[in-house]
Amino acid sequence: MAKKRSSTTKKSTEAIIEQAASVSFQNLGVEWKPKPDGSAELLVAYDGPLATRNEVIARAGTWREGSGPWAETRELPLRRQGTRWVGTIPVASGATVQAVEFVFRANDEWDNGGRAPLGYYEWNPRERRVEVR
- Residue 22 pLDDT: 54
DSSP H or E segment with residue 15: helix 13-18
Contact 29, 45 (CB under 8 A): yes
Closest CA to 57 of 74, 72, 43, 34: 74
Secondary structure E strands in the chain: 21-25, 28-34, 40-46, 57-64, 71-77, 79-81, 84-91, 97-106, 109-111, 121-124, 129-132
- Residue 117 pLDDT: 79
Cis peptide before 125 (omega within 30 of 0): no
Q: Name residues of the chain where pLDDT drops below 70.
A: 1-25
- Residue 74 pLDDT: 94
